[in-house]
Chain A
Amino acid sequence: MSLHFSTRISGVLAAVLLATAALPASAHHSAAPFDMTKQVSLQGTVEKWVWANPHSWLYIRVAKPDGTQEVWGLEAGSTGMLARSGWGAYDMKPGDKVTVTVAPERDGKPIGLLNQVQLSTGRVLSAGAGAPPPGVDIPAGYGAPPPGAAPSAPPVR
């Protein structure tokens, strides 16, 4: 298991995350606690998948480079919105190995906004909290930068 942080700004990811910060992810609170300009990839073991409203939460245990372990809490969308995106309450159970992509909490705590989960079977659950459901248009001005252009970060609070 490994912990990999990428601080490179992905124009597309940032756009998608920002779009969902105000679009279909069944808002409860704003996305202010999360750093939408960062993409964090984590590999870990599922401790608990909480299927609930206003947000579902995935708790995973992650091995740190120093050999210790850390529990991450990953916020997902409401159950209805997740169900519409193909997620279910029984998709994950304790002990499952997963790879997740999240926008991390700003203060460096092991908390993130869940964007995608890849199960050990290879199945990918996406369009959760941090990505719009298929067919949702990313608003003008929030799309990927044109080829050759430096990716620009969306306004961040």
Chain B
Amino acid sequence: MFIKHKALLAVALCSTMLAFPAAAAEPLGSKWADVTKLPDLFSGNWESRASFLDTSASAVPFTPQAQAYIAHYKPIADIPFAGPGCKTPGMPIIQRLGSPLKFFYEPGMIAIYIENSSMTRFIKLNAKHSAQPNPTFLGESVGHFEGDTLVVDSIGFDDILLQYGVLPGKVTGPFVLPPDVIFGPHGPNLRMVERIRLLDPDTLEDKLTIYDDTVWKQPFVSNAGLIFKRNHGDKGWPHEWVCSSDDTLTFDPAQDKTVTEDPAVVLKRLQQKDKH
């Protein structure tokens, strides 16, 4: 009698277990232990070796709307970031302005500290976008790993500085500066997809594709490699970056020119400030 009951109990337990499928393996980036399986994006920091702006002479055709805009486009001497208050250009330009990027990990998130502006991107791993993300200069980012490549999908951009392409005949070298390119407004469905991977232990590549059906007829695939080199040790330590200096030389977007002030006047002002 006792044995019969035990057998019945075992059958019941087995049936219960069979009723529940085995838990699906959690995707990479879900646990603390996963950090040992991820490519080492996290040691030190990453310094851009690319031009400030995209050198891609994109062959992607513009929409009629963008063509009409470009026909009347007047190049700018510099970007608003160079003006007082250092208004961020947002993604993707802010990542390539010279100061390094620092990656951090916790289960379900990779964060990228962008030293040049002290802003941080938060990439939600293995997640979906919000139904209607609030606009931000870095966008709302979700990501996942495809093998050793971190794929980051970003939407929900604010009034960022979007580069449409380069002006004809302007790109003669490896660097492109603001007067060489076309900046313009983006559409409501602007989306950026980055594929981030290590080319070797100290070289990181970020391949960017931009989707905006108000600007391009097809996705804009940047053919300019965005390459970063790893800084180790003290050089790999992040620093804060708060726009605070009382510059002698400031770009004025309203006048589209750099305005200079007599250094003697600036110095006097600074010294008076020190006395208070």
A and B: partners? yes
* Residues of A near any B CB (own CB < 8 A): 18, 21-30, 32-33, 47-48, 50, 52-57, 59, 70-73, 75, 78-81, 83-84, 105, 107, 109-111, 133, 136-137, 139-142, 154-155, 157
Residue in A22, A75, A78 whose CB lies within 8 Å of B52: A22
Closest 9 CB pairs of A and B: A73-B263, A80-B239, A29-B82, A52-B245, A22-B175, A71-B264, A73-B248, A26-B98, A27-B97
B248 touches A75 (CB 8 A): yes
> A32-B77, A141-B174 are known contacts. Are A57 and B248 too (CB-CB below 8 A)?
yes
B11 at the interface (CB under 8 A from A): no
Q: Given the complex, which residues of A lie within 8 Å of B266, measured CB to CB?
A: 57, 59, 73
B78 touches A32 (CB 8 A): yes
B249 at the interface (CB under 8 A from A): yes
B141 at the interface (CB under 8 A from A): no
What is the interface of chain A mostly: helix, strand, loop, or mixed? loop
Q: Given the complex, which residues of A lie within 8 Å of B99, measured CB to CB?
A: 26, 78, 80-81
What is the interface of chain B mostly: helix, strand, loop, or mixed? loop
Q: State how many angstroms separate the Cβ of B105 from the closest Cβ of chain A.
A: 22
B231 touches A84 (CB 8 A): yes
0/1 interface trace, chain B 220-244, chain A, CB 8 Å (1 if under) = 0000000000010011001111111
In the complex, which residues 78-94 of chain B have their Cβ closer than 8 Å to any Cβ of chain A? 78-79, 81-82, 86
Closest residue of chain B to A72 (Cβ to Cβ) is B263
Extra A-B contacts (5), CB below 8 Å, given A26-B241, A73-B266, A141-B173: A22-B176, A30-B52, A52-B244, A78-B116, A110-B263
- The distance in angstroms between the C-alpha atoms of A137 and B49, with both chains bound, is 9
Q: Given the complex, which residues of B lie within 8 Å of A79, measured CB to CB?
A: 239-241
Q: Given the complex, which residues of A lie within 8 Å of B77, measured CB to CB?
A: 30, 32
In the complex, which residues 128-184 of chain B have their Cβ closer than 8 Å to any Cβ of chain A? 172-179
Residue in A50, A59, A111 whose CB lies within 8 Å of B249: A111
Q: Given the complex, which residues of A lie within 8 Å of B264, measured CB to CB?
A: 70-71
- The distance in angstroms between the C-alpha atoms of A33 and B178, with both chains bound, is 13
Residue in B86, B240, B270, B271 whose CB lies within 8 Å of A54: B86
A24 touches B98 (CB 8 A): yes
Q: State how many angstroms separate the Cβ of B152 from the closest Cβ of chain A.
A: 23
> A24-B47, A59-B263 are known contacts. Are A53 and B244 too (CB-CB below 8 A)?
yes
Interface centre among B51, B239, B242 (most CB of A within 10 A): B239
Q: State how many angstroms separate the Cβ of A157 from the closest Cβ of chain B.
A: 7
Q: Given the complex, which residues of B lie within 8 Å of A136, measured CB to CB?
A: 49
Q: Given the complex, which residues of B lie within 8 Å of A56, measured CB to CB?
A: 245
Closest residue of chain A to B247 (Cβ to Cβ) is A55
Closest residue of chain B to A109 (Cβ to Cβ) is B260
Interface centre among A26, A30, A32 (most CB of B within 10 A): A30
> A109-B260, A157-B179 are known contacts. Are A26 and B247 too (CB-CB below 8 A)?
no
B258 touches A32 (CB 8 A): yes
A27 touches B241 (CB 8 A): no
- The distance in angstroms between the C-alpha atoms of A78 and B98, with both chains bound, is 10
